[in-house]
Amino acid sequence: MTKTRVLDAAVVVALVLYPLLLPGYLDLGTRMIVMALFAMSLDLLVGYCGLVTLGHAAFFGVGAYSAGILAIRASADPLTGLLAGGVAAAILGLLAGTVLLRSRRLTLIMLTLATVLIVQETANRMNWLTGGADGLQGIDMDPVLGRFAFDLFGRVGYVYAAAVLALGFLVFRAVVDSNFGKSLVGIRENEPRMRAIGAPVDTRLRIAFVMSAALAGIAGALQAQVTEFVSLNAVSVEFSGEILIMLILGGAGRRYGAFLGAPLYVFMQDYLAKEDPANWYLWIGAMLMAIVLFAPGGLTKWIGALVGRATHASPLPGRS
């Protein structure tokens, strides 16, 4: 318990220190935060339930479009937009989950892939509403809480995103630490056994799916608000794959995986795009391969093992 308390606090400290140490890179930091939130939502499915999906951007995108369209046509209040993005994605999650969760493994992956393609094509066709291939433009957000207007340097955007991520993490933490969260791990490890000991597996997976979709939708809404733009890429297969890579880099099913993987990926992407714009994907690929081969379980697991070795942790660590 104390160890996780310290690390939870470290997450908050990192969020506070970043703008103080790198005040010139607030936009990059904001992007890291949005991706961390999105990766965290995916972790609920991939890491905890053991359901691999290649279509999670469907929920991110629907959240982004909902918040963006709402801002243009009705209310530009940021918090209302977040709520709208979360609810819209949750509704899609409920519908999609009902169909998708009948399958597992490869079939599930294929169906999630199909889902994101359908959502993307729908967004493309409805260009009167979404801007289609040109993207959704003309978003102009009101000040946060009616007081803090988004500024050119991205200061308010950063603080706003950091606050949303911190709240999202509180929810995520409460879920994975709860008995419900433990039962998701049980389902991942042995689904028939969970049924045999009286757990309504289908209901619990559906709830997790909707939660994950809602969180992804909020991340999408956040992105739409801080960048004041939504492109079709937000609902793409490529983006769904990218977020999965971020999660795997950090470590799926591990409390801090999203917090490590997403910022690292975003940083590498930014750095490599400047240093070696022609081949940056190659380096990302090499990095992913190195992690999978030399640090299976992601960076968080690898670091955890290093620290464990350094401090000579007892050979049979219980969880306390």
318 binds other proteins (CB under 8 A): yes
Contacts of 43 (CB under 8 A, 6+ apart): 172, 247, 252, 253, 257, 258
Min CB(228)–other proteins separation in Å: 42
Residue 103 burial (C-beta neighbours within 10 Å; 0-12, 13-18, 19+):
middle
* 3 state SS of 231: coil
- How far, in Å, are 58, 221, 244 from residue 96 at the CA level? 10, 19, 19
Closest distance to other proteins from the beta carbon of 319 (Å): 5
DSSP state of 144: B
Nearest by Cα to 115 from 273, 245, 248, 237: 237
CB 240 within 8 A of CB 57: yes
For other proteins, the closer of residues 107 and 137 by Cβ is: 107
* Cβ nearer to other proteins, comparing 105 with 182: 182
For residue 209 the two structure tokens come to 């799916």
Question: Under the criterion CB under 8 A, does residue 207 sit at the interface with other proteins?
Answer: no
Query: Which residue in the set 196, 278, 293, 310 belongs to the binding site for other proteins (CB under 8 A)?
Result: 196
Contact letters for other proteins, residues 154-183 (x by CB under 8 A): -------------------------x--xx
Integer-rounded Cα radius of gyration of the chain = 19
- Report residue 14 as tokens: 């990192």
Which CB sits closer to other proteins, 91 or 199? 199
| 19 contact partners, CB below 8 Å, separation of at least 6 | 26, 29, 155, 158, 159
Is residue 125 close enough to count as binding other proteins by CB under 8 A? no
CB of 180 to other proteins, least distance (A): 8
Q: Which of 185, 272, 284, 287 binds other proteins (CB under 8 A)?
A: 185
5 touches other proteins by CB under 8 A:
no
**Interaction of residue 190 with other proteins, rule CB under 8 A:** yes
Tell me which of 121, 134, 151, 189 binds other proteins, using CB under 8 A: 189
192 in contact with other proteins (CB under 8 A): yes
Q: Which structure tokens are listed for 235?
A: 């609902």
Determine, following the binding rule CB under 8 A, whether residue 314 of this chain makes contact with other proteins: no
Pick the binder of other proteins from 143, 186, 241, 297 (CB under 8 A).
186
- Minimum distance from residue 320 beta carbon to other proteins (Å): 6
Of the pair 192, 277, the CB lying nearest other proteins is at 192
The single residue listed with the structure tokens 């979404």 is 130
The residues of the shown chain that bind other proteins, judged by CB under 8 A, are: 179, 182-183, 185-186, 189-190, 192-201, 316, 318-320
